[in-house]
Every structure is written in C-alpha cells, then in structure tokens.
Amino acid sequence: MTEPTAIRSPSPTSAPGVPAGAAGADAATEAALRAAEPCLWLNPLLSPRMPASVPAGTRHISLADVEAAQARFDRFAPLLVRLFPELAASQGAIDSALIATPTMQRMLEVDASTGRLWIKADHSLPIAGSIKARGGIHEVLEFAEKVARDAGLLAEGDDYSRLAEPDARALFGRYQVAVGSTGNLGLSIGVMASALGFRAAVHMSADAKEWKKTRLRARGVEVVEHAGDYQQAVAAGRAQAQQDPYCHFVDDERSLSLMLGYSAAALGLDAQLREQGLRPDATRPLFVYLPCGVGGAPAGIAFGLKQLYGPHVHCFFAEPTQSPCFLVQMLGAEISGTGGNPSVYDYGLTNRTEADGLAVPRASELAAGAMRELLSGVYTVADDTLFRHLFQLQAAEGLQIEPSAAAGFSGPAMLTGTDAGRAYLERHGLTDSMPQAVHLVWTTGGLFVPESEYRNFLDRGAALAAR
C-alpha cells in the first residue's frame, strides 16, 4: 500500500488553474486531489468547543432538533411495525448493531495500542438496507405527519397506527413523493412512501445500479431515468416537482429533515456505547469514519455526536478519490469564507467510482455549513481499496457491505499511520489515551445487494487482497 499524501492547509500560495474557491490551497492538496491519490485533509477551522447551535440553511439547529427527530420516529413506531413485519422485534425502531471487529482490525494491521475497531452496522438497516433508512424515512414520516394533521386526521397523542386505515391511505394517495438519487435514497424514499400509500417517483442518474431500479419498480415506484450524473437527476426531479402542488420533493442537497433524520442515530449509538462501557470522555476518544456522498448523512450524524460528546468525538468523512466533493467544498469555504460550491470536475476528476452511493460531484452547502467548525477532517480512498476492504470484512467477520460502505475502513490507518494523522493526535493531546480509543467505522449499505452483484465485488476484492 502506498503511503497516503499528507495534506495541510491553508497555505498562502495560490496555484494557477485552481478554481476560485480553492485559490489558497497548498500545492500538496491540489496535487493529490488532481492526481486522484488518497490523502488526509485536516480542518483548520475545527472548534475546540461545541457551539450550542450551528447554522443549517435558513436557521440554526441544536440538540433539541436531534431529539425532535427521534421523537418523531418514536411516534411512528407503532405504524411502522404494522407496515413492516421485520420491525416487530425492534418494536418499530430502525437501528443497527454496534459490533466489535477484532479480526478485521488485525487484517487492517491497526495495532491494538492505538485503540479498538468497532462497526456501526447500518449496512443491515431494515427497509432500505442502507444508512438512507434514517434520513429518507424521517423525511417521508415528517411529510405524512403534516398532511395527516392538516387534514384533521391526527390529534396530539393519537396512536399513529391509525394512519394505516383506508381514509388516511386515500388521503396520502392524492400526493406524490419524489426524489433524485443515485439509488439508495430512492430505495428508502420509494419504499416508505409507497408503503404509506403515497405515489412515489424516483429520478435516477445514469450510474444508478440496475437492480435498484428493478427493486423500486417491483414496489410500484415510478423510476425516471436520466442520462446525466446524480446532480442532473436531482435538478430534473426538483424542476418537475415544482410544477405540482401535490408533489413533495425530497431534496438531497438542501433538506434539513433528511439531515436531522440522520442525526438521531447519535442517540441510539449513545445508548449502545454506554452499554459497552465505551462512552467517550477525556481519556477515551471516539473516532468516527463516515462515508460521504452529498454530505447530509455524515453531517447529520457528526452533528448529533458532537452535540453529545463535544471535543471527545472526532468525525472524519471518507470519499472516493474521484468524487471528493465535500473535501473541495471545505477547502473552498476555508479559504474564502464563502467559497461558492465547487465541483470535483473543476479539479479534473471524473466522478466515476464503483461506490455509487458516494458518486456526487458537488457537496450539499447545508451540510458543509453545519460542518464548518465540527468536522475534524476528510480523507479519500481509491476504489481498489474499497474492494479489498469489502472482501476482508467478509473474510474476517462474515459481513456483507457494498463498495460505498467500505470507505470508512481506511480511516484508522490514515489517522494513526500518517504524519498528518499523528500530528492531529498530538495537537489534540490524544497520544496517551490512544490505547483506550474507539475507532468506529460506519458501514453504510449492503443488505439488499443481489447475490450475483456481491459475488463480483468479492471476486474483485479477493484478487486485490491476494497481491
């Protein structure tokens, strides 16, 4: 494995040909980004304190918003059990296991003296089979709640399972829920919307996998195919929805409801960490590695965790080397203060990656704004590494994930095995507490990947691991 390029920024030098937003990025940043080489970038704006609230579009969000999202999930739990028998065991809760993965840790050659490797197993989340079960379902539930309340069908304190009755379903049937997606968000929104009785439409980009389209169509969801990339699919869906007052468009790039749905994961994780005696504090740092597409999911979760643990949690986003949209966004914001909304194409990158859940050319400005002072850093991963880790996780722990979900596994070595990573640990006074550290890799999808597709992933990973 080649040593990842270490990056520090900002630097006063400006390189010719860099987009305006990144005018001050140092030469190493630009070189690694443009060459699509794995690198670690550390956020110089990371705040030592946790602000009580952070900007999120038109307003500020705080812990109360995280709790409100969780309360909404709780209100809907009786209805969800009725609609999805697979939720009976969890009484309607949509959450995943926290799993210790010592064998995988050995395969990754991350020494136990630098902490323990755990997985937050969102690859097995029910209903959607990915992290999108959190944000996507939350937004559909929030919309359903509003429609039902406005129609006088729900009063304060009502049992929400009444929304499975014919009158509520007839009401929902008048509305359409639409979304633009590379696949997983469409699966989550489409399945939940149609289960409630809404009409559902999913605008898909050219890189969306065929099996995801097939699965949606089998659920009665309308799949609209677009020739362009993810962002073009979103724009087309947004434009179409604006024509129709009975259409609710789930806007992956701008939705606060999505982000807050993701943020509620922090509360569930907190209970699990307490159970294991692993709640982070001054002597037990928590490092979280979150695969990042547009940024809503990882930003929501990072926001929730920072609210709970402040300086004791360190959140890193992971992106494919060809699609580091959040990294270019953070670089732009850091240099100019505003930075605009640069794309990975501006850096000569292709946005082509097998990690289809992360194949996003431009970050969500909502997510980037919220992360400005909370995010520890961003690192990039080559596709080959994703496949190797996907294979190793199957071999070590028998867990099935998709390529996007493997992006987190490069994190611990990026932090503990590179100069930039070690500098971060030193700067934050963490060196002595590393033996107690928890490295939490968020595995974000995989449950519903068809057998034949997963075989291909494994074969590719096995060949790389054998080298």
Ligand X SMILES: *Cc1c(COP(=O)(O)O)cnc(C)c1O
Residues lying near ligand X in the complex (CB under 6 A):
130-132, 184, 291-298, 357-358, 402, 404-405, 444-445
The torsion region of residue 247 among left (phi > 0), alpha (psi -120 to 50) and beta comes to: beta
Nearest-angstrom CA–CA distance, 123 and 234: 24
Q: Is the dihedral of CA 241, 141, 94, 259 positive or negative?
A: positive
423's tokens: 């500098």
Residue where the block lists tokens 């109360």: 64
Q: Do 443 and 410 touch, CB atoms closer than 8 A? A: no
366's tokens: 């909502």
Least separation in angstroms between CB 278 and ligand X: 24
Q: Do 321 and 354 touch, CB atoms closer than 8 A? A: no
Q: Which residues contact 150 (CB under 8 A, 6 or more apart)?
A: none
Nearest-angstrom CA–CA distance, 172 and 147: 8
Q: Which residues contact 29 (CB under 8 A, 6 or more apart)?
A: 7, 9, 22, 39, 41, 331
CB-closest chain residue to ligand X: 293
**3-class SS at 412?**
helix
Nearest-angstrom CA–CA distance, 34 and 346: 9
Q: Which residues contact 266 (CB under 8 A, 6 or more apart)?
A: 66, 301, 303, 304, 305, 307, 308
Evaluate the omega torsion of the peptide bond into residue 10 and state whether it is cis, within 30 degrees of 0: yes
Least separation in angstroms between CB 407 and ligand X: 7
28's tokens: 């190493």
Q: Please, how many CA atoms are within 13 Å of residue 210, restricted to the half-sphere of its CB?
A: 2
Least separation in angstroms between CB 385 and ligand X: 15
DSSP 402: -
Strand partners, 247: 176
Least separation in angstroms between CB 298 and ligand X: 5
Nearest residue (CB) to ligand X, 296 versus 361: 296
